[in-house]
């Protein structure tokens, strides 16, 4: 067995076969951890932890209402609630509730970019709580639902099927060559 391990180890130390220029160093686990913040819509990347609507409400008042308003109705920052049913009208209101297709995106964006003046400081459970509060505020989840790595990707956002691929060029006619 040790011989096998040795062989594996030696192979690992060999310069990679198809690396032509051989620049750089193998990325370290520390670097992965720091950069593993991106969350996929299927939930890949979501960390341990969980959050309730109630905890989110408290946190929102303390950290978010300054910019987004006490009821997330918008102030310096955009509104985060309302707008469902307005997308096909003359005055569409695009919010987390009316427009965002994936709940995982809400988690990802709060985690990477919020609060605006101090991004990167929220703990995973705090982010889960804030997402739970916003989803509840938009009538998407019940008040007693807990958000975590398993429940969050299962949330179906109201506008999940509201997106189409790019059909351009879609306007005008081609010029004679």
Partner 1 sequence: MKDFGKSRRQMLRLGAAAGLLANHERALAWQNAPRPLGIPLGPYGERSPFEKAVRWTRDSKTPETGSSFTPLADSVGTLTPSSLHYERHHAGIPTIDPLQHRLVIHGMVDRPLSLTIAEIRRLPAVSRIVVLECGGNSGSEWAAKTGADVQRSHGLVSCSEWTGVPLSLVLAEVGVRPGAAWVIAEGADACRMERSIPLAKAMDNILLAYGQNGEAIRPAQGYPLRLLIPGWEGNTNVKWLHSLKLTDQAYMARDETAKYTDLMPDGKARIFTYDMEAKSVITFPSGGQTLPGPGLYELTGLAWSGRGRVERVEITTDGGANWTQAHLQEPRLPIAFTRFRLPWRFEGRDVVMGSRAIDETGYVQPTREALIEVRGVNSGYHYNGIKLWKVHAAGTVTNVEV
Residues lying near partner 1 in the complex (CB under 8 A): 16, 18-21, 23-28, 31-32, 35, 37-42, 44, 76, 87-88, 90, 92, 94, 96, 99-102, 104-105, 108-109, 112-113, 116, 119-120, 162-177
Residue 10 Cβ vs partner 1, minimum distance, rounded to whole Å: 16
CB 160 within 8 A of CB 102: yes
CB 111 within 8 A of CB 47: no
**Closer residue to partner 1, CB minimum distance, 31 or 58:** 31
Length of the chain: 177
Residue 89 Cβ vs partner 1, minimum distance, rounded to whole Å: 8
Residue 2 Cβ vs partner 1, minimum distance, rounded to whole Å: 26
Query: How far does Cα 167 stand from its chain's mean position?
Result: 26
Please, what's the largest Cα pairwise distance for the chain? 73
Q: Which of 39, 32, 31 is nearest to 113 (CA)?
A: 39
**Closer residue to partner 1, CB minimum distance, 39 or 52:** 39
The β-bridge partners of 102 are: 156
Residue 12 Cβ vs partner 1, minimum distance, rounded to whole Å: 11
């Amino acid at each position: 067995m040790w011989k096998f391990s040795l062989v594996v180890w030696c192979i690992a130390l060999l310069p990679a076969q198809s690396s032509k220029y051989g620049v750089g160093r193998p990325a370290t686990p520390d670097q992965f951890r720091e950069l593993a913040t991106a969350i996929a819509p299927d939930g890949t990347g979501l960390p341990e932890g969980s959050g309730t609507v109630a905890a989110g409400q408290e946190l929102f008042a303390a950290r978010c209402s300054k910019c987004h308003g006490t009821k997330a109705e918008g102030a310096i920052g955009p509104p985060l609630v309302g707008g469902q049913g307005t997308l096909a009208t003359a005055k569409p209101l695009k919010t987390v509730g009316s427009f965002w297709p994936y709940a995982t995106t809400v988690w990802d964006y709060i985690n990477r970019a919020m609060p605006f003046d101090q991004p990167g400081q929220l703990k995973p459970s705090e982010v889960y709580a804030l997402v739970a509060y916003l989803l509840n505020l938009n009538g998407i989840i019940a008040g007693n639902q807990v958000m975590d790595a398993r429940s969050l990707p299962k949330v179906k956002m109201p506008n999940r099927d509201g997106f189409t691929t790019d059909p351009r060029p879609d306007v005008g006619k081609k010029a004679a060559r």
